[in-house]
Amino acid sequence: MKYISYAGLLLLLFFIPFISRQEYMIHILCLIGINVIFACSLNAILNIGELNLAQSAFMGIGAYASTVMVMRLHLSFWIAMPLAMLVTSIVSLLIGFLTLRFKGAYFLLFTFLFAELMRVLLSNFGVGLFGGIPGLTNIPKPSIHIGNLVNVDFSSKVAFYYLIVSLVVFTIIVLRRVDKSRIGMIFTAIRQSDVLVESIGISTMKFKILGCAIGCLFAGLSGSLYAHFVGIITPGDFAIHSVFAPIAYVVVGGIGNVFGPVIGTAALMMLSNFFLRQFGFFELLLYGIIIVLIIRFMPEGIINAPRLLFSRMRKS
């Protein structure tokens, strides 16, 4: 039954560029797609019970890695993107190994420091490579040339749209697989009681590092896509404040389930674009309020609400 609805959704997404030729709509959908991947990566880490304020910084690592590989090392985007994902994941392994051994609040502090550190490093060091505070511009778009047969030019948003949609689907499939596996079960358990997980013979450290590596793989992906889609990246783009809206997306959608961030991101970004934008600064305030209210009153998020409602009904 649900496979029919998935197929239907995919079909709808496939046909959107034919239905609406509006460039703006496609552009928004692309940005939503990139943010969905990022939100999923954030969710992967929240899933193990840790809040990573540096998640945007990891997106930045992916963005800069991908850009540098294409612009300075002259690699093809199709090689740079997976490599950027790998680089981001490896950096997270290192940082995770150093910092995940500490309690949640200390880890939070370290992510805070790391995010700041990244911004400072990218702004002040290796200016020739990273462009300093103004960042890097004119980032080349990807292209596909196979002889004279296939010639796809990504300067049109439509091509990007299909690429991003495919990658979103890929992200969801992979993360869903992890969710449903024994690994996902252990992640959830760690989130609820890491002390108990340790006492039943499982190394929480090992799984936390794994969770981080998986999450940051996709943070890197979203970064790479962002860089080549938008064409300009600066260190300020990936500073700490940029992680708050995504936290709201994930919290609203529901932590733990891969569809949570998908729904939360889509819903809030649509709301933001067609309604909240006009409130300017208040929009940022709103995200903070949403985060607090949801975590206080509906911490399971939208996606889990039916399940818990059902259980509560059965209880009475």
Partner 1 sequence: MSLLEVKHITKRFGGLVAVSQLEFDVKKGEIIGLIGPNGAGKTTAFNMIAGTMRPTTGEIRFMDKKISNLKTNKIAALGVVRTFQLSTHFGNMTVLENVILGNHCRAGIGLWASLLHTGGARNRAAGSREEALRILEFMGLKDQRNELAKNLPHGQQRCLEVAIALATKPTLLLLDEPLQGMNHEELADMLDRIGRIRNGGITILLVEHNMKAVTSTCDRVVVLNFGEKIAEGLPRDVMKNTQVIEAYLGVEE
Partner 2 sequence: MDATILAQGALNGVMLGLSYALVALGLSLIFGIMRIVNFAHGEMFMLGGYITYYLFGVYGINYFATLMTAVFIIGLLGMILEKAIFRPLTNRPEVALTSLIAAVGLAWVFQMLAVIFFGEQDKDIPTVFKGIIRLGGLMITWERFAAILIGIGLVLLLNLFLLKTKFGKAIRAVAEDKEAAALQGIQVARISSLSFGIGSGLAAAAGAIIAPIFIVSPSMGGEVILKAFLVVILGGMGSIPGAMLGGLVLGFLESYGGLFFSVPVMSVITFILIILILIVRPQGLLGRE
- Beta-carbon contacts of residue 243 (< 8 Å; ≥ 6 apart): 42, 53, 54, 55, 56, 115
Out of 73, 271, 292, 309, the residue judged to bind partner 2 by CB under 8 A: 292
Whole-number CA gyration radius for the chain: 20
Tally Cβ neighbours within 10 Å of residue 107. 22
Residue 182, contacted partner among partner 2, partner 1, none, CB below 5-8 A by kind: partner 1
Please give the size of the binding site for partner 1, defined by CB under 8 A.
24
Q: How far is the CB of 286 from partner 2 (least distance, A)?
A: 9
Contact assessment for residue 227 and residue 67, using Cβ atoms and an 8 Å cutoff: yes
3-state secondary structure 151-218: EEECCCHHHHHHHHHHHHHHHHHHHHHHHHCHHHHHHHHHHHCHHHHHHCCCCHHHHHHHHHHHHHHH
Residue 196, contacted partner among partner 1, partner 2, none, CB below 5-8 A by kind: partner 1
Cα 14 off chain centre by: 22
Enumerate residues 155-194 that contact partner 1 by CB under 8 A: 177-178, 181-183, 185-186, 188-189, 192-193
What single letter denotes the amino acid at residue 203?
A: S
- Binding to partner 2 by residue 105, rule CB under 8 A? yes
- Binding to partner 2 by residue 205, rule CB under 8 A? no
Tally Cβ neighbours within 10 Å of residue 185. 11
Stretch that binds partner 2, among 83-91, 116-124, 133-141, 205-213 (CB under 8 A): 116-124
Which two structure tokens, joined as six digits, stand for 31? 């940005």
Q: How far is the CB of 46 from partner 2 (least distance, A)?
A: 7
With b for 16 or more beta-carbon neighbours within 10 A and e for fewer, the 123-154 pattern comes to beeeeeebbbeebbeebeebeeeeeeeeeeeb
Q: How far is the CB of 108 from partner 1 (least distance, A)?
A: 22
Q: For residues 256 and 316, what is the distance between their CA atoms, to the nearest angstrom?
A: 26
- Binding to partner 2 by residue 299, rule CB under 8 A? yes
Out of 13, 108, 158, 210, the residue judged to bind partner 1 by CB under 8 A: 210
Interacting residues toward partner 1 by CB under 8 A = 177-178, 181-183, 185-186, 188-189, 192-193, 195-204, 210, 311, 315
Interacting residues toward partner 2 by CB under 8 A = 46, 49-51, 53, 98-99, 101-102, 104-106, 108-110, 112-114, 116-117, 120-121, 123-124, 191-193, 244, 247, 251, 255, 281-282, 284-285, 287-289, 291-292, 295-296, 299
